[in-house]
Amino acid sequence: MTEKEKQQAGELYLSADPELTSDRVKAKKLCAEYNAIEYNDYQKRVRLLDRLLALRGENTVIEPNFFCDYGYNIIMGDNFYANHNLVILDCAEVTFGNNVFIGPNCGFYTAGHPIDAEQRNSGLEYAKPIKVGSDVWIGGNVCVMPGVTIGDNVVIAGGSVVTKDIPSGVVAAGNPCKVVKNIDDDKPSEVQQVSDGKKDAGKK
């Protein structure tokens, strides 16, 4: 197997491999070009993202600066918005569903290194994919670690470090990030809606 094949298979691989190094250089150059685009030149930004990313949906907005390792491992759904300083270390696949909002200074890190110092110092590393569902809001300064899956309809509080999977329909927070409550807990009940006059608005 090539080092790139090992990487994509989730095995230990050498990141200094010439093929992988060349791929990273191409992506870093495109990121640098993207970050230098005049802010209101939206069409040019979109065209460059199409060159950099594996796939994106409609209405993609990534505020500069944006950094990634390869680009070709990133998939974004419709209505993706990321505030400034998004970092995606996409040594493995990183996928986002529809309607994902990401605050500033967030990182998605698929890359990991061996605990054994000898292996780590030899240049070996590994990568595990990250998956983010649809209708997800991620607050500022959040780190999502290798191998994590975040479900649909989730809010991740700012400053969280997501080390394990987060189920759908919850608010989660902390380091390590844990479920705080269900999204449905904040929805008004039928009784509340009626008592507030919302259910029968306009009726006499």
Looking at the DSSP assignment, which residues form a beta bridge with residue 61? Answer: 81
Task: Give the phi and the psi of residue 76 in degrees, each rounded to 5.
Answer: -125, 135
Q: What is the DSSP string of 65-111?
A: PEEES-STTEEE-SSEEE-SSEEEE-SS-EEE-SSEEE-SS-EEE-E
Which entry of 24, 26, 113, 178 is annotated as an active-site residue? 113
113 catalytic? Reply is yes
Query: Rounded to whole angstroms, how far apart are CA atoms 109 and 181?
Result: 25
CB–CB of 113/120 below 8 Å? yes
Looking at the DSSP assignment, which residues form a beta bridge with residue 198? Answer: none
Q: Which residues are catalytic?
A: 113
